[in-house]
Structure 1
Amino acid sequence: MVKILHALSLTTFVFHLSFTLAISTGRRVPTPPLPILPLPTYSQLKWQQREIIMFLHFGVNTFTGYERGTGHEDPAIFDPVGLDANQWVSAAVDAGISLMILTAKHHDGFCLWPSKYTDHSVKSSRWKGGKGDVVREFVDAAKARGVDAGLYLSPWDRHEPRYGHNLEYNEYYLAQLQELLTKYGSLREIWFDGFKNSSALNVTYYFTEWFSMVKELQSSINIFSDAGPDVRWVGNEDGAAGTTCWATINRTSLSIGNASIEGYLNVGDPRGTDYLPAECDVSIRTGWFWHKSQSPKKLSELLQIYYNSVGRNCVLLLNVPPNATGLLPETDVHRLKELRNALNTIFSVNLAEKCSMKASSQRGGKGGGFGPENVLDGDHLWTYWAPGDEDDGEDPWIEVRVADGGIRFNVVRIQEAVGLGQRIKRHEIYVNGKRIAKGTTVGHKRLHRLKGGVVQGSVVRIRISESKGLPLISSIGLHFDPFWQPKDGS
C-alpha cells in the first residue's frame, strides 16, 4: 500500500511539474507599452471627448448693447421677460452638445444669481420682481436633460467697490465662488480669465487660493484658465489652434492674462511636463453678447472653425448668446442644427470600415491584441494599433486597402491613444504611393481636409515619421465632406 501511495504522489508531482513547465514556456500575452508622461486625468479625457461645448454670454450687456459693461448699469434694465433655459438646453441637445457654460458674472459685476454679498444682481432687477435666479434655472434645465453645466465668474469686476484692494476683493471673490460651487450642484467646468483693460485698477488675483478652493469643493471639475490647471486657453478668440498643437505644456512658463505667451498656448510643448489640453473659444456671432444687428456665422465658417479646433486636438467652445427676451435666437438655433447635421453627414460614415488593414509591424506579432484592425473598432481610446519595438529601421506605417476599385474621400481622420500619452510628432498620408498630406501632431483627433479636394485610391498609407516612443493609433477614418469645395487647390 505504501508503494502504491508513493507511486501516486510521484505521478501527481510529475503532472504538476509538466503543467508548470508548459505554462512557463508557453507564449506570453503581449502587454501594452509603457505610458509616456504626462498623462491626462479622467476628467480631461471625458472633457476632450465632448469635442464641442457651448458658452452663453448673458447679462446687462444684452440690454445695453455693450460688449464690456461699465459696472454702472442700473440692474433694473435686466428684464428678460421670456427667459426659458429649457430652450437653451434643447438647442444644445439638438446640436449634440453635452456641456454648457453660463456667464454667472461678467466684467460689469452684475450677478445672474441673488448673491448675498452684493445687491448688484438679479435681486435688484425687474425680472420676476427681483425673485429670479438665472443660474438656478440654467443648472436645473441642464440637469433635467442630462447636460452638464459650467460657470464663468469674471475676476475683473468694474462695479464692486472692493476691487482695487487685494485682500478685500479676493475675499469677496472667494465668497461668491463658494456660493456658486455649493448651491448649484455638480459643475463640470469653471472658467477663469485674467482680462482687464489698461485703465483698470491694479489687483493681484489669488489664483492659487481660488483653484485650491474649487478642487476642495468639487474635485472632479475642470478648471479653465491661461494656466489651467486642467484646461488651457488656445491663445486667441478665433477658435483656431496651431497646425501643431500639443496637449502638453510647461505650466511654470504660464501666467494668467499674459499676452506674451499666446503663441506658446496655441502650440503647446512636446517637452511639456503638464498635460493641459487647449480649449478654443469663439462666438457664433461677431460679438460675445447678443446684438440685434448681428447674424450667426455661415455654416462654411463654422465648419472651418471645427476643423481648426476639434480637428487639431482641441475642444471647441462655441458661444451662443441669448437675446433680450431671454431666448436663443432662432437663426442661431437653426445654424447650430445645420452644423450638427453637416458633421453627421461627414463623419457618420467611415469609408475605411469595409476595407482591410495592414501595418509595417505590430506589437506582440499577429493576434497579440495590438493589430491594425483595432483602428476600425468603436473604441477610439483604449484599443489601438501599436507597431513592434523594432521596425527594421523603417518608419512605422499603417494602410487601408480596398479590395475592388477604390474609394473617394476628401477628409482623413487620425486619433491617438492619448490615455497613454500624446506621441506623434510628424506624419504623412499617401494614396496609391503619392503623398497627399502631411502634418505634425495628432493627439485626440487630427482632421486633414484635403487641399486638393476629393481623391480616389485603393491603398491609403499613414506613415509616422517621428514620434515620442511607439506611436499608438486608436482610430482612422476616411470621410467625404460634400461641403468642401476648395478653389484652385487652396
Structure 2
Amino acid sequence: MTLKDKIRYAAEVAPTERQLSVQEMEFYAFVHFSVNAFTDQEWGSGKEDPSVFNPAELDADQWVEACKAAGMKGLILTCKHHDGFCLWPSRYTEHSVKNSPWKNGSGDVVREVADACRRGGLRFGIYLSPWDRHEQTYGDSPAYNEYFQNQLRELLTGYGDIFCVWFDGACGEGPNGKRQVYDWDAYYALIRELQPGAAISVCGPDIRWCGNEAGHCRESEWSVVPASLRDNEKIQEKSQQEDDGEFAKKYSSEDEDLGSRDVIAQEKELIWYPAEVNTSIRPGWFYHASQDDQVKPLEELIKVYYGSVGGNATFLLNIPPDTRGLFHENDVQRLKELGDWIRGTFETNLAAGASVQATEAMEEHPAADAVDGNRDTFWAPQEGTEQAVLTVDLGTEQTFDHVVLQEYRYSQRVELFALEYMEDGEWKTAYNGTVIGYKRICPFPAVTSRYIRLSIQESRWWPNLSAFEVYRGDRNA
C-alpha cells in the first residue's frame, strides 16, 4: 500500500456509535469511594472490616448537582476498587455494604447513585476493579474469572442503562500470593451482551487512556491510531502493582506521536480509539481530610479542559466523597467555578449564521454548513483537495478570543491549520494548530475584527468542517 493509499485509509476509519456517544459527552465525573475514605488510604489492603464503612449523610443527589454545576454529562462510580469492598450487596461476597453499619446493612450505594443520575439527567457508568486484594479465589484464574463475571453481571443487569464500563489493568498478587490472568475477552463479551451501548474504556476497545493521570494532554491527539494500542493497558508487565505516587505523574515523550503520517505509514491496521484524559480534583483519588485545602486551582482545571475537551479528548475528573458521604464544600465550590467559566466563555457564538466563503466546496457540502449549528452537516472541498481556506464574515467588527472548530463526527482529517483575522486590511495570525478532530478549542489574546479565516495547510484526502464558532470569553474571566 502506498503512502497515499494509507492516508486515504486513515481518513476513512470511522467511530462506532458507542464511541461517539462518549466523545460527545466531553466532560464527566469519576467518583472514587470505598473503605479507603474511612481508613485514610489510597489503596486498601482487602483486610478492612466492613464495619468501618458508614457514610451516614450520603446524598447522591448532592454529587449529581455538583457535577451538573460543573457542566458534566455523566458519572462513573468505583463500584469495587482493589480492596474488593463492594458498594452494592453482591451475592458473591460478604465483603460489601451489606455487612456495614450504613443503613443497618440494607443500603446500596450503586443503586442510590444510579437513581440520582437518572433523576438529575446524568448518564451513569461503572468502574469494577479486576484486581481484588480480598477475594480468596484471586490468582486461581478460572475460579476468579467466574467470580468477576458474576459481579459484572449483577452491575450490568441491576442498575439500568450503563454508558461506560471503566477497567484499569492493575494486576498484583491476591491473598494467596498468586497473580491472576484476566479473561478480558469474556468480560467484553458479557458487556456487549448485556449493555451493547456501553463503551468499554481504558482496558477495553472503545476509549483509550491518554497515558498518564497528571492531566497532561498531547498537542496532537489523534482518534485514528495503530490497532496495537488496544492491548497496551492489558499487558500485565506494565500494569500498576503498587500504590506508587510516581505512576500518576508518568507519561512518555516517546508516545507523544500516536497518529501522524510517520506513524500510519508503518502500520498495517488502524482503528478509531479516542483518548480520555483522567485526573483528580485533589492530589489523591480517595478522600483525605488533609487534602481539603489542596483542591486544584481553577486555572489548572481550565488548562486541562482546554487540552482534553479542547484537544480532541474527553475529560474524566475525579471527585472523592468524604466520610459523610458528601462532596466536600471546597470541591463543590471549585466545580461550580469551573462550570461558570465554561458556560460564560462559550455562551454566545458570534459566528452563528454568519456569511461564509470558501476557496472551493462540494455542491452538497457548501461553506455555510460550517456555521449552521448542525453537527450532521459539514463543509468540504473537492475530493483530493488537501489545502483549503474558509473565511467567515461576522457582519460587523467584533471582539473575540476563542474559536471552536469541529470536524464531521465520522472522520478526522485535518493535520495543520492557522486562524487569521483581518486588521487594517492585513491578515494577522491569531492561532496555529495541528489536529482538530471532534473538537478543537483555540484560545488567543482578544482581537477585534469583522473577518476571520481558517487556513487548512495539511489534511488527509480532503478536509471537512462541521462547526466554526467564535466566542468572547475574556469578559467572563
| TM-score when normalising by structure 2 | 0.87
Residue 436 of structure 1 aligns to a residue whose secondary structure is strand
Which residue in the other structure is 2:441 paired with? 447
Residue 169 of structure 2 aligns to a residue whose secondary structure is coil
Which residue in the other structure is 2:399 paired with? 408
Equivalent in 473, 476, 481 of residue 468 of structure 2: 476
Which residue in the other structure is 2:205 paired with? 229
Written as runs of structure 1 = structure 2, the 5 A alignment for 1:363-374 is 363-364=362-363, 369-374=364-369
**Paired positions, count:** 441
Which residue in the other structure is 1:180 paired with? 155
Distance of 2:155 and 2:352 partners within structure 1: 46
Equivalent in 63, 67, 71 of residue 92 of structure 1: 67
1:289 pairs with 2:255? no
Residue 256 of structure 1 aligns to a residue whose secondary structure is helix
- Matched residue type, 1:204: V
Residue 282 of structure 1 aligns to a residue whose secondary structure is strand
What is the root-mean-square deviation of aligned Cα atoms in Å?
A: 2.4
1:163 pairs with 2:138? yes
Distance verdict in 2 for CA 1:175–1:264, change over 3 Å: farther
Residue 286 of structure 1 aligns to a residue whose secondary structure is coil
Which residue in the other structure is 1:62 paired with? 37
Which residue in the other structure is 1:106 paired with? 81
- Matched residue type, 1:375: A
Distance verdict in 2 for CA 1:268–1:141, change over 3 Å: same
Written as runs of structure 1 = structure 2, the 5 A alignment for 1:95-244 is 95-196=70-171, 201-226=178-203, 228-244=204-220
Distance of 1:89 and 1:141 partners within structure 2: 7
Distance verdict in 2 for CA 1:63–1:435, change over 3 Å: same
| TM-score when normalising by structure 1 | 0.85
In the TM superposition, what is the alpha-carbon distance from 1:410 to its structure 2 partner? 2.0
Written as runs of structure 1 = structure 2, the 5 A alignment for 1:317-466 is 317-353=316-352, 355-364=354-363, 369-379=364-374, 381-389=375-383, 395-404=387-396, 406-419=397-410, 421-432=411-422, 433-450=427-444, 453-466=445-458
- Matched residue type, 1:467: S
Residue 46 of structure 1 aligns to a residue whose secondary structure is helix
In the TM superposition, what is the alpha-carbon distance from 1:344 to its structure 2 partner? 1.0
Structure 2: runs of 5+ lacking an equivalent: 1-7, 240-250
Percent pairwise identity? 40
Bigger Rg, which one: 1
Asked if 2 retains the 8 angstrom alpha-carbon contact of 1:235 and 1:263, the reply is: no
Distance of 1:34 and 1:407 partners within structure 2: 40
Distance of 1:372 and 1:172 partners within structure 2: 56
Distance of 1:264 and 1:196 partners within structure 2: 24
- Matched residue type, 1:154: S
Which residue in the other structure is 1:50 paired with? 25
- Matched residue type, 2:362: R
Distance of 1:250 and 1:35 partners within structure 2: 10
In the TM superposition, what is the alpha-carbon distance from 1:362 to its structure 2 partner? 1.0
Per-residue CA deviation, residues 337-372 of structure 1 (Å, 9 max, x unaligned), is 1111111111111222364211111112xxxx4222
Structure 1: runs of 5+ lacking an equivalent: 1-32, 486-490
